Protein backbone atom coordinates (compact mmCIF):
# COMPACT_ATOMS: atom_id res chain seq x y z
CA UNK A 1 0.00 0.00 0.00
CA UNK A 2 1.21 3.47 -0.90
CA UNK A 3 2.41 5.35 2.18
CA UNK A 4 2.93 9.10 2.38
CA UNK A 5 6.32 10.52 3.31
CA UNK A 6 5.35 11.28 6.91
CA UNK A 7 3.89 7.82 7.52
CA UNK A 8 7.27 6.24 8.07
CA UNK A 9 7.03 3.97 11.07
CA UNK A 10 8.95 0.81 10.21
CA UNK A 11 10.77 2.19 7.20
CA UNK A 12 14.04 0.28 6.89
CA UNK A 13 17.18 2.34 7.51
CA UNK A 14 20.80 1.86 8.45
CA UNK A 15 21.07 5.39 9.81
CA UNK A 16 21.73 5.75 13.53
CA UNK A 17 19.11 7.46 15.65
CA UNK A 18 20.31 10.88 16.77
CA UNK A 19 19.63 10.90 20.49
CA UNK A 20 21.43 14.18 21.16
CA UNK A 21 19.56 17.07 22.72
CA UNK A 22 18.74 19.71 20.14
CA UNK A 23 19.47 23.33 20.90
CA UNK A 24 16.53 25.37 19.59
CA UNK A 25 17.13 28.60 17.69
CA UNK A 26 15.11 31.70 18.54
CA UNK A 27 13.04 31.42 15.35
CA UNK A 28 12.08 27.86 16.29
CA UNK A 29 10.80 29.00 19.68
CA UNK A 30 8.85 31.74 17.91
CA UNK A 31 7.26 29.27 15.48
CA UNK A 32 6.21 27.10 18.41
CA UNK A 33 4.71 30.12 20.19
CA UNK A 34 3.01 31.36 17.02
CA UNK A 35 1.34 28.03 16.25
CA UNK A 36 0.30 27.76 19.91
CA UNK A 37 -1.26 31.23 19.80
CA UNK A 38 -3.04 30.50 16.52
CA UNK A 39 -4.50 27.39 18.11
CA UNK A 40 -5.65 29.15 21.29
CA UNK A 41 -7.34 31.86 19.24
CA UNK A 42 -9.12 29.29 17.08
CA UNK A 43 -7.38 30.32 13.86
CA UNK A 44 -5.91 26.89 13.11
CA UNK A 45 -5.85 23.58 14.96
CA UNK A 46 -3.32 20.80 15.39
CA UNK A 47 -5.00 18.57 12.82
CA UNK A 48 -4.68 21.31 10.22
CA UNK A 49 -1.06 21.74 11.26
CA UNK A 50 -0.46 18.04 10.67
CA UNK A 51 -2.32 18.08 7.35
CA UNK A 52 -0.27 21.07 6.17
CA UNK A 53 2.95 19.24 7.04
CA UNK A 54 1.75 16.13 5.24
CA UNK A 55 1.02 18.22 2.12
CA UNK A 56 4.69 19.13 1.70
CA UNK A 57 6.36 17.84 -1.46
CA UNK A 58 8.25 14.71 -0.31
CA UNK A 59 11.71 16.07 -1.19
CA UNK A 60 11.04 19.30 0.72
CA UNK A 61 9.71 17.30 3.64
CA UNK A 62 12.93 15.29 3.75
CA UNK A 63 15.12 18.39 3.69
CA UNK A 64 13.14 20.40 6.20
CA UNK A 65 13.81 20.44 9.92
CA UNK A 66 11.02 19.91 12.44
CA UNK A 67 10.09 23.57 12.86
CA UNK A 68 10.62 24.34 9.17
CA UNK A 69 7.78 21.88 8.60
CA UNK A 70 5.64 23.70 11.16
CA UNK A 71 6.36 27.01 9.47
CA UNK A 72 5.57 25.60 6.03
CA UNK A 73 2.27 24.32 7.35
CA UNK A 74 1.32 27.50 9.23
CA UNK A 75 1.91 29.55 6.08
CA UNK A 76 -0.04 27.05 3.96
CA UNK A 77 -3.03 27.03 6.30
CA UNK A 78 -3.05 30.80 6.86
CA UNK A 79 -2.97 31.48 3.11
CA UNK A 80 -5.75 28.93 2.64
CA UNK A 81 -7.88 30.74 5.24
CA UNK A 82 -7.16 34.14 3.74
CA UNK A 83 -5.29 35.37 6.82
CA UNK A 84 -2.19 35.80 4.67
CA UNK A 85 -2.19 36.74 1.00
CA UNK A 86 -0.23 34.41 -1.30
CA UNK A 87 3.38 35.57 -1.33
CA UNK A 88 2.82 38.03 1.51
CA UNK A 89 5.40 36.46 3.81
CA UNK A 90 8.04 36.27 1.08
CA UNK A 91 7.44 39.91 0.18
CA UNK A 92 7.83 40.97 3.81
CA UNK A 93 10.98 38.92 4.28
CA UNK A 94 12.52 40.54 1.21
CA UNK A 95 11.55 43.90 2.68
Question: What is the closest distance, in whole angstroms, from the C-beta atom of residue 49 to another protein in the complex?
Answer: 9
Question: What is the closest distance, in whole angstroms, from the C-beta atom of residue 12 to another protein in the complex?
Answer: 11
Stretch that binds another protein, among 14-22, 25-33, 50-58, 59-67 (CB under 8 A): 50-58
- Could you give the C-alpha distances from 14 to 21, 61, 71, 74, in angstroms and in order? 21, 20, 29, 32
Contacts of 32 (CB under 8 A, 6+ apart): 67, 70
Q: Which residues bind another protein (CB under 8 A)?
A: 1-3, 7, 9-10, 45, 47-48, 50-51, 54, 81
Amino acid sequence: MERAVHDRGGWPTDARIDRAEHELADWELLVDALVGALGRHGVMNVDELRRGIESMPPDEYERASYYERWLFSAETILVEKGVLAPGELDARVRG
